[in-house]
Amino acid sequence: MEKSKRRTFAWLAGVVLVVLAIVLGLHFFTAQHKGKPAPTGEPVAVVPVALQDVPVYIDALGTVTPTRSVTVVSQVDGILSSVEFKEGQHVSKGQVIARIDDRALKAQLAVAKGTLAHDQAVLSNAQRDLARYRDLVKAGSTSQQTLDTQAALVQEQQGTVAADQGNVQNLDVQLSYCTITSPVDGVVGLRLVDPGNYVTTTSTTGIVVITQMNPATVVFAVPEDDLGSIDQAMARGSVTVLAYDRNKKTLLATGSLLALDNQVDTSTGTIKVKAQFDDAGDALFPNQFVNARLKADTLSQVAVVPTRAIQHGSKGDFVFVVNGDKAALRNVKTGPSMGDVSAILDNGVKPGEQVVTEGADKLDDGSPVKVVAQ
């Protein structure tokens, strides 16, 4: 009897210990996980797919070329007496920029004018004699031979006077060359010859180089494969060309396509293109390197997504689209970019669908997601 009571007590004590252990375990587990939310999907940021017009550009590295670059050389030999410009100065067409010592030419011109006046007087006298001989021939007082000789003398003197007049005109022109004027509107460069030096017409160095800055032109080369799209763009009207700085961040000037070269460079497979910028001001400098963007076409109302939403894989580009609480992988064909968005050329996404812009690196097709505010 006593042993039976002991076994019953031991059994009850064991049951109590087991129940107590279970209760303590549940209490500990609850305490450990108290305040923690249930597991959720990967947090992502999304942006809806939109429709908009996207321009198609052909990009190339170009060089700014001046409309005209003129090396000013002297057209007469002589001492450079003065330079009437400051280096880097804007000058107008016809503005005096230098002078050559003209004293010798002025003296030669004076002699030539004196010779002309003398020969004109001789001609006038010969013409009066000719008129008298004609009257005498009619009266029978002189021979026809004398009249003919006098007529020939008059013609000879007329030739002499004509030569004198030409000599005077030539010296007038030579004298005008002593005052050197700018042939174009532009900017003068650094002075190449100092006043006091003897300059000649055979010099190839010149006195200064004047560059016409406006309108500026940019020459760049595009692949021959783009010729078709460029021709189509030209057929539609004026073709816009943008000039950006070396970093492709700052727009320097906006112009238009001026001309295509007449042949493809077989060594590079490219063709040269020239664009003109009428209102570039000082933004484009001769021989400056710029990034040229030729607007070949405009895609009308195509689906666009943020460029950062596009992922790149071994099978091509793709995006993640959020459907409910899961992400779906969509393969897409990307097109040209404009700003922070890129065009989607196929039906990989539809307007209004939500594409993942942040958190995509942790996703797979079908991964649970939780959309968070950006």
3-state per-residue secondary structure call for 235-248: HHCCCEEEEECCCC
pLDDT confidence of residue 337: 83
pTM of model > 0.75: no
- Return mean pLDDT, the chain: 86
Instruction: Give the integer Cα–Cα distance in Å for 84 and 201.
Output: 20
> What are the CA-CA distances from residue 228 to residues 231, 291, 345, 370 (Å)?
5, 21, 20, 47
User: Which residue numbers in the chain have pLDDT < 50?
Assistant: 1, 29, 31, 33-36, 38-39
Q: Cα-flanking dihedrals φ and ψ of residue 339, to 5°? A: 70, -125
Beta-strand pair 369-371/42-48: parallel
pLDDT confidence of residue 373: 67
pLDDT confidence of residue 35: 47
pLDDT confidence of residue 17: 60
- Centre a 10 Å sphere on the Cβ of residue 171 and count the other Cβ atoms it contains: 19
pLDDT confidence of residue 137: 86
Tens of pLDDT along 270-306?
A: 999 999 998 888 889 888 999 999 998 888 888 888 8
Closest C-alpha among 77, 71, 70, 73 to residue 174: 77
Contact status, residue 272 vs residue 261, Cβ threshold 8 Å: yes
Tens of pLDDT along 177-197?
A: 999 999 999 999 999 999 999
> What are the CA-CA distances from residue 270 to residues 220, 263, 347 (Å)?
10, 9, 33
DSSP letter, residue 309: G
Three-state secondary-structure class, residue 279: coil
- What would the DSSP string read from start to end of 64-113? EE-SEEEEE--SS-EEEEEE---TT-EE-TT-EEEEE--HHHHHHHHHHH
Find where tokens 């010729």 sit.
227
DSSP letter, residue 200: -
Three-state secondary-structure class, residue 281: coil
Contact status, residue 215 vs residue 81, Cβ threshold 8 Å: no
- What would the DSSP string read from start to end of 204-264? SS-SEEEEE-SSEEEEEEEEGGGHHHHHHHHHHS--EEEEE-TTS-SEEEEEEEEEE-SS-
